[in-house]
Structure 1
């Protein structure tokens, strides 16, 4: 909707609210007189009730916090319902229409009459409390931080933000005047240096390695891991066999279960290490052959 349409809509809303206030003003004024208000108080009473309704409506549109907005809506609904009840009572009690002044019963039943008087007399006090709270919430609300719009280039794409420029740029440090002879030597490198540089930049005679694929790297890693685990197991076997040999030499050989538990393995693993030690001992023993003395 364009700006002109919005202005017309707001003006129409203001006109409707003004006419509705004039219709409700007569009923609220008569109710105020019925509960004992004087002429001036009865004249201002409609502004207290319907005026807070307008204030709550504006606060609902202005507040950004969800909790505060819900509170403003509740105040608006409460005072709208109260104004509706008082207008309804004004239509039911004909004595309110032509009563010049003084108290008039708002209902035949005493309980209903007391409730209506309590409602009508408490609305001004509630207007002071709720109106002050709404104004405080509007004045103390935090405005959301505005984000800077990205700067777009001529092609419509977002450009890179300009680098931060310090407020006081650093002054360039004065440099010493170079020696003319040294500058000439640095500017014109010798032929020997250029020849070495060209030799070092010469391409290597061998062909470059082909790039390795992730599958090949994973296979190599698994192979290295398997080799490492096998080396650790072999070291553990050698330590277990050495421990059994030492215990046997001390005259207290370890059992298969004790040997396995000492290295965190099973009993069968310990038994295998004991058998391996015995096989090594038997293979290292010299073979004795019987000599036939009759043949000699």
Structure 2
């Protein structure tokens, strides 16, 4: 059974979905709404946030004060490639920092429709290369992201591999959006259970980011990419979300490519439930942190 807190959040999301039509909201309103959701968890006093730039890409270092570490996580936020910022994802970043014992490099890659594909991929690669330029060893780095940021995590890994760059020690993806063509069976089979997303919106959003012809480009939809040679990857996804099969099929393809991959399907959970103040999120973040500690021991 889901926790009382999870049931409360699910009810809130269902009410929001019933009362709001994203198509009627401006981009500015949608972006502001996601930023506001990110501010619902107050920042503890021991969290240190430093505004900076990663290879020209704006962002923040998010870390736990007085906890020295050489472990680094490059975090790529979600938001369908047209929303999201440090404001929307700072609380998730510091919770990941707590769980993993890492400094989190939270970046603000360029957003669509002002900046279409491949802008986000280019910025993520630049940010990773900037970490290497700071003499951070690749085996001390993890890349992680949620939703669109999960897909972007995989696209970044593929881009780095193809460019012959040293890959990070591991990656974690939270409800990753890996098939912008929207072909997964769960797009329909989970539509009645998903309290947040719905198939029509999921299929419209990509056209802000790319052309119809690019929907199956391997760096737009990593489900269609060659995934051989990637580092160990942990996948988290909610059982009740429309994008469930984006993760299930990704896991199958990673395993077929010989990549060490683990998938955890969280019962009764929805898209990126990690972002909410519920016990299930705390448990999931601890699992991600433990995975990072296993792959990047101090």
TM-score range relative to shorter protein: under 0.3
TM-score normalised over the length of structure 1: 0.18
Rg (Cα) greater in structure: 1
TM-score normalised over the length of structure 2: 0.18
Higher RCO by CA contacts (8 Å cutoff, separation 6 or greater): 2
Larger helix share, 1 or 2: 1
